[in-house]
Amino acid sequence: MRVFLLACLAAVLIGAGSAYVLNGGYFPNASSAVFSTKGVRI
């Protein structure tokens, strides 16, 4: 159970980390940058 919970926590943390990176303007024009349009260029 402990391993399972740790695995779920890791999934959430990695997911949240990727959301932070993808919405940080490092990848403008990425369709996954959904929270913000900051840095999006036409």
Partner 1 sequence: MPTSASLRVFVAALMLAVAAAFTVPPATAQQPTQVNPTAQSVKEKELLKELQRIQGRSTLPDTRTAVLEQPGRDWRQFQQVTLRWIGAIAILGMLGLLVLFYLIRGMVKIENGRSGRTLVRFSAFERFVHWMTAASFVVLALSGLNITFGKELLTPLIGPVAFAEWSQWAKYAHNYLSFPFTLGVVLMFLMWLAWNFPSAADFRWLAQGGGIVGSKHPPAKRFNAGQKVIYWVVVLGGGAAAITGYLLMFPFYATAVGGYTVGTTDIAAVQLAQMVHGIVGLLFIAIMLAHIYIGTVGMQGAFEAMGRGEVDVNWARQHHSLWLEKEAQKGHVRGSAPAE
Please report how close the Cβ of residue 4 comes to partner 1 at its closest, in angstroms.
Answer: 5
d(CA 14, CA 27): 17
How crowded is the C-beta side of 12, counted as CA atoms within 13 Å? 6
Residue pair 22/30 in contact by the 8 Å Cβ criterion: yes
**How many residues lie near partner 1 (CB under 8 A)?**
22
24 touches partner 1 by CB under 8 A: no
26 touches partner 1 by CB under 8 A: no
**Residue 38 DSSP one-character state:** T
Note the residues at the interface with partner 1 (CB under 8 A): 3-4, 6-8, 10-11, 14-19, 22, 27, 29-32, 34-35, 42
